[in-house]
Amino acid sequence: MRRLILSDIHSNWDALQAVLQDAAGLYDEILCCGDLVGYNACPRDVIGWAMSAVAHVVRGNHDRVCAFIEEPTDFNHYALEAARWTNAQLDARQLAWLRSLPVGPLVLEGFELVHGSPYDEDEYVVERREAGEIAQALHTRLCFFGHTHLQGGWVWADGAMLELRRPRFGESETVYELDPQAQWLVNPGSVGQPRDRDPRAAYALWDVERRTVALRRVEYRVEEAQKRILDAGLPEHLAMRLAFGR
Ligand code: ZN
């Protein structure tokens, strides 16, 4: 079994297409750590695709707000405007599906999916200290998370905690061998709105039998995604940030 791990797609159809093309033939199943929608301009396409293509997904904070499950308390006005616009784009069936997404942690066979952390889908796990604090709440030795839009993560092995390095510019992947005794916390990065200063779409591939996880990046047509945002009348800021990966 080989799994494609996606997170924070955020309605970016162009980035998603580039990822699916880049990973074609390399996976059997798709997992998603949430935030399918928000920010970008293709919520209908992304939800339509996800409803049939994704095997397991947890909801993200933007999924919750775009589905009108709850009024946000911590959204900036760009995010809020995009969320309201997104809700109006989705049909009843798509909204019902979005509302039905499970809240993480979603514990599956030998691994789990969360959006923010196992404690809180809205928690940002950015610092080493924060990762250390959630380690004891993990149910399995391999946890995939998102929400920060920062590709990477940590591994605990032999009493040490190591940081996972994302591909540098000019590299398309970094590959890690999964020591079954170690504890892994892996962020595949954001497909649709990376914030680690690398505008390329981010994702991960997990080969269960070979026990490897690859953090990967692929270029996509950022100008197309930007044009769609502007054509939809969404805030220009949401288009601009894609070019800088922040
Ligand atoms: Zn997100």
Spatial separation of the C-alpha atoms in residues 66 and 61, rounded to whole Å: 9
CA of 14 to the centre of ligand 1 (A): 17
Does 73 score more than 90 pLDDT?
no
Q: Taking residues 123-134, what's their average pLDDT?
A: 93
Total domains present in the chain: 1
Spatial separation of the C-alpha atoms in residues 62 and 64, rounded to whole Å: 5
Confidence of residue 22 (pLDDT cuts 50, 70, 90): very high
Instruction: Please identify which residue in the block is written with the tokens 């040490």.
Output: 160
CA of 158 to the centre of ligand 1 (A): 32
Spatial separation of the C-alpha atoms in residues 170 and 138, rounded to whole Å: 34
Q: Please write the tens of the pLDDT for every residue from 205-239.
A: 999 999 999 999 999 999 999 999 999 999 999 99
Three-state DSSP at 238 gives helix
Q: Taking residues 150-169, what's their average pLDDT?
A: 95
Radius of gyration of the chain (CA): 17
Q: Please write the tens of the pLDDT for every residue from 90-100.
A: 999 999 999 99
- Contact by Cβ (8 Å): 40, 193: yes
CA of 71 to the centre of ligand 1 (A): 16
CA of 34 to the centre of ligand 1 (A): 7
CATH number for the domain spanning 225: value is 3.60.21.10
Does 135 score more than 90 pLDDT?
no
Most confident of 73-77, 155-159, 239-243: 239-243
Confidence of residue 54 (pLDDT cuts 50, 70, 90): very high
Which residues partner with 185 through β-bridges?
143, 154
CA of 181 to the centre of ligand 1 (A): 30
Structure-token pair, residue 72: 């946000």
What is the torsion angle, in degrees rounded to the nearest 10, for the CA atoms of residue 157, residue 161, residue 166 and residue 167?
A: -60
Structure-token pair, residue 9: 């797609």
CA of 7 to the centre of ligand 1 (A): 8
- Specify whether the backbone of 212 is left (phi greater than 0), alpha (psi in -120 to 50) or beta: beta
Element (H or E) spanning 30, and its range? strand 29-32
Peptide bond into 105 cis (omega under 30): yes
- Contact by Cβ (8 Å): 34, 60: yes
- Contact by Cβ (8 Å): 192, 40: yes
CA of 46 to the centre of ligand 1 (A): 14
Confidence of residue 84 (pLDDT cuts 50, 70, 90): very high
Structure-token pair, residue 242: 């894609």
Angle of helix 13-22 relative to helix 43-53, nearest 10 degrees, comes to 40
pLDDT of residue 81: 95
Q: Please write the tens of the pLDDT for every residue from 39-49.
A: 999 999 999 99
Does 72 score more than 90 pLDDT?
no
CA of 159 to the centre of ligand 1 (A): 31
CA of 149 to the centre of ligand 1 (A): 6
Domain that holds residue 136: 2-243
The predicted model scores a pTM of 0.97
CA of 108 to the centre of ligand 1 (A): 22
CA of 215 to the centre of ligand 1 (A): 18
Does 113 score more than 90 pLDDT?
yes
Does 173 score more than 90 pLDDT?
yes
Q: Taking residues 52-57, what's their average pLDDT?
A: 98
Output the CA angle 238-239-244, nearest 5 degrees.
95
